Structure 1
């Protein structure tokens, strides 16, 4: 492998807007689950479910855009685009499982919902990091 200089490629502005939503929404769902675990106030579970649904909506569109970009990426950007898509897809799939868990009775969701929300929030952070970072000069192709 030869180190080549590949200019950083920013996200399309609409893609960047779509990617801006999953992290705060999934993080809000995690914080709502933590609040529910501490207080057992059912409304926190409802907040978490709605925040999770919003994260899934925007995350799904961001993942679809990332999939299209993966097919359009050149050989120098394909690995980064693949990692980015895998992070978004894993975030979305775990978020969907979390939505199914939140669909149960509020008293039956703990501790599964808390663990899933934490994993989804971490994956949203990783996906956002990968999406906004691009490829820097000196990357290995």
Structure 2
């Protein structure tokens, strides 16, 4: 039979992961945009809005990261490619940078720059590299390369 069939629990976890995984990306990219606007405008509203976006991004990243933790390190149905593990660690680095960014944003409004921008860039860069790595590894492993 087909050896790639996932169990019901595994497929449910995969569906939940695929649904919730993109949400933190939107929050963190919007926070980066707001941090850039704040650096150029010094309007406190942009800093406070970025702070809320980072907090929401961290909260929404909890469930997908826990599912990904079990898929990469515990799950037997998930492929144990090095690209999957590297993408996992890049996501961990992005979350750690976002936590540091949340602490930076807890300061007075005029004391956050330029560290807020640096941590936002690190967070978004790690997430984008992880997404590109996963996209390239899935395309390569399924043979769906377009030339």
What whole-Å deviation, never above 9, does each CA across 1:33-80 have from its counterpart, x for those lacking one?
011111110010011001111111122222111110012146952423
Unpaired runs of 5+ residues, structure 1, are 1-6
Distance 2:132 2:121 in 1: 17
Query: Does residue 36 in structure 1 map to residue 41 in structure 2?
Result: no
Q: 1:80 aligns with which of 80, 83, 89?
A: 83
With normalisation by structure 2, the TM-score equals 0.77
Partner of residue 54, structure 2: 52
Partner of residue 65, structure 1: 67
Distance 1:64 1:15 in 2: 9
Unpaired runs of 5+ residues, structure 2, are none
Partner of residue 104, structure 2: 101
Contact 1:69 1:81 in 2 (8 A): no
Partner of residue 4, structure 1: none
| RMSD between superposed Cα atoms in Å | 2.5
With normalisation by structure 1, the TM-score equals 0.81
Q: 1:124 aligns with which of 127, 131, 140?
A: 127
Which protein has greater RCO, CA pairs closer than 8 Å, 6+ apart? Answer: 1
Q: 1:44 to 1:127 in 2, by over 3 A?
A: same
Query: Does residue 110 in structure 1 map to residue 144 in structure 2?
Result: no
